[in-house]
Amino acid sequence: MAKPVLDKDLKRVAGLELATHDLARSLAAPGIALVFLLAAAVWASFVVADGPTSYMVVIAAVIAGYMALNVGANDVANNMGPAVGSKALTMLGALLIAGTFEAAGALLAGGDVVSTVAQDLLIGDQLDGDTFVLVMMAALLASALWVNLATIIGAPVSTTHAVVGGVVGAGIASAGIGSVAWPVIGTISLSWVVSPALGGLFAAILLAFIRATITKRIDKISAARVWVPILVALMTGVFAMYLATKGLKRIWSPGLTMVLLLGLGFAVLGWLVAMPLIRHQSLKIENRTKHIAKLFRLPLIVAAALLSFAHGANDVANAIGPFAAIVTAVQTGHAQSADITLPLWVLLIGAIGIALGLALFGPRLIRTVGEQITKLNEIRAYCVALSAAITVLAASALGLPVSSTHIAVGAIFGVGFLREYVAIREMKGNAVPVQARFLDPTMLNATPEEALSKDRQQAGRRLVRRQHVLSIAAAWVITVPASAALAALVFLVLNLLIG
C-alpha cells in the first residue's frame, strides 16, 4: 500500500517542479526586459545634464527602450520569418544572425530618418517646447503599446505607421488638426497599398521566373547551374544598391552613378563566386525540386542578414526618433530645432532594445510570418527576401514611401497566391474530370463549374490561410487610427500629470 502512495507523492512533486520551471521560464523574458528598461533610466539619469526638465529625458528613455523592445519583437520577424519557415535557419540561428545585424545596422548606420519622425510630421510653430516634449512622449508610448498588443495577438504591423499615428494623434490633441503636416501624412498613407502590392508583385514574378527556367525543366540540375549564379548576381547587385541608398545613408551618400556602378560590380562579383560554388553543390543533389531548393539556402541566409542590417539602420528611428527629439528639445528649449542631435547613448538604447526584443519576444511573430501564412521552401523564401530589397529600390526611385513590414508580408502573399493560381490552372488541364473528385453521393456537384469552384476553394485553404490575410490586413488598416487615438488619450493624461 505504501508504494502507490509514494508514487502519487513523487508525481505531485514532479508536477510541481515542472510547473515551477514553466512559470520561471515565462517570467524570465519580462524580467530581463524590465532590467533593460531600468538600466536605460539609470543610464539617462547619469548622461543628461541637470535641469528642471531633465526627469523628462529619463522617463522618455524608458519609453524609448520599451518601443525598441517592441520593434525587435514585431518588425524583425519580417526579415527572418521566411528563412525560418523554409527551414533554411533554425530559430536560434535566426535570432543570433538577426540580433547581430540589427544591432550593427542601428549602431553603424542608424538614425538617418530620425528627422522625418521627429520633425516633418508636425508644424513646429504650433507647439511650445514643453508641449512638444509631451507630444513626443505620448506618441512613443502609444505606438509602443499598440505594437505590443499586435505582437501578443500575432499580427505583424508597421512600427513606422504606429509612430506616425502616435505623432498625429498627440499633435491633434495638443494643438488641433492644424499642427499636423497633412501632405506628409498623405504620402505615408500611400504605402498601405503600394508596399504589399509591389512586394507581392515582385515576389510572384521572381517565383514564376524560377519555375520557368529551373524547377519545371526536365534537367533541373543543368538549368540550376546556369540560372542560380545569375540570380545570386542579381541579389548581390540589388543589395549593394539597397545598402548604399538606404542602409548606409547616414554615413555615406553616393550619387546615382556610383550606386549603379556598385550594383554592377557586386553583381559580377556575386556571379564569379556563385558559379563554382553552385556547380560543386549540384554534384551532390538529385534532379528534384526539393534538392534544387537547397542551392538557394546560403543566398537566402545572406539576404536575410543584409535585410536585418538595413532594417536596423532605418527602423531604429521608430524607437529613438521621438526620443532624440525630446533630448534636443530639453537641451535647446525649442520645440523643433533645425538639427536633431543623435548622441551615441540614445542610439545604443535603440540598438540594444531591438536586439533584446527580438531574442525575448520575436519567435512568436517569426513563426506567424514564416509558417502560418503559406508554406515556404528555400526558393519561395529567397523570392520574398530579394523582392523586399527590389521593392525598396523601386519605391525610392519613384519617390514612394513604403513599409518594410508590408513589403515582406505582401511578398509572402504574392508567392502563395501564385502557387494557388498555378495549382488551379494545372487542375483545369487535368485529364480526369473535375467532378470525378467528388465521389461521395452527399457531395455530388450539379455542374462541373460548381465542382471547380469547390476545388478552387480547397486549393486556397491549402496554400494561403485566408484567416491571416484578413486579420493582418485589418491590423494594417487600423494601425494609424488606433495609435493616433491612443496617443491623444495618453497626451491628455500626461498633460494632467506633468503639464
Q: Is the dihedral of CA 335, 340, 346, 349 positive or negative?
A: positive
**CA 95 from centroid of its chain's CA atoms:** 14
Give the pLDDT of the chain (499 residues) as one tens digit per residue: 555 655 555 556 555 555 554 445 566 888 899 999 999 999 988 887 676 677 888 999 999 999 999 998 888 788 888 999 999 989 999 999 988 888 888 877 666 555 566 566 776 566 666 788 888 899 999 999 999 998 888 888 888 888 888 988 998 998 888 778 788 778 777 777 788 888 999 999 999 999 999 999 999 999 999 999 999 999 999 888 888 887 666 667 788 889 899 999 999 999 999 999 999 999 989 999 999 999 999 999 999 988 888 788 777 777 888 888 888 888 776 655 546 667 888 888 988 999 899 888 888 888 888 888 888 999 999 999 999 888 877 876 766 667 778 888 899 999 998 988 887 777 665 544 444 444 444 445 556 666 556 555 554 446 777 777 778 888 888 888 999 999 999 999 988 887 5
Q: How far apart are CA 469 and CA 414, in angstroms?
A: 11
- Say which amino acid occupies 379: I
pLDDT in tens, 97-137: 988 888 888 877 666 555 566 566 776 566 666 788 888 89
203-212 burial, b if ≥16 CB within 10 A, otherwise e?
A: bbebbeebbe
Cα-Cα end-to-end distance for the chain: 72
Spatial contact of 288 and 219, defined as CB atoms under 8 Å apart: no
Record the cell numbers describing residue 329, joined without a space.
528639445
Q: Report how far residue 429's alpha carbon sits from residue 339's, in angstroms, rounded to the nearest whole number.
A: 63
At residue 431, what are phi and psi to the nearest 5 degrees? -70, -25
Nearest one of 189, 214, 384, 380 to 285, comparing CA atoms: 214
Cα 100 to Cα 407: distance, rounded to the nearest angstrom: 22
Q: Which DSSP helix (H) or strand (E) runs through 261? A: helix 256-282
Phi and psi at residue 180, to the nearest 5°: -100, 135
- What's the distance, CA 262 to chain centroid? 26
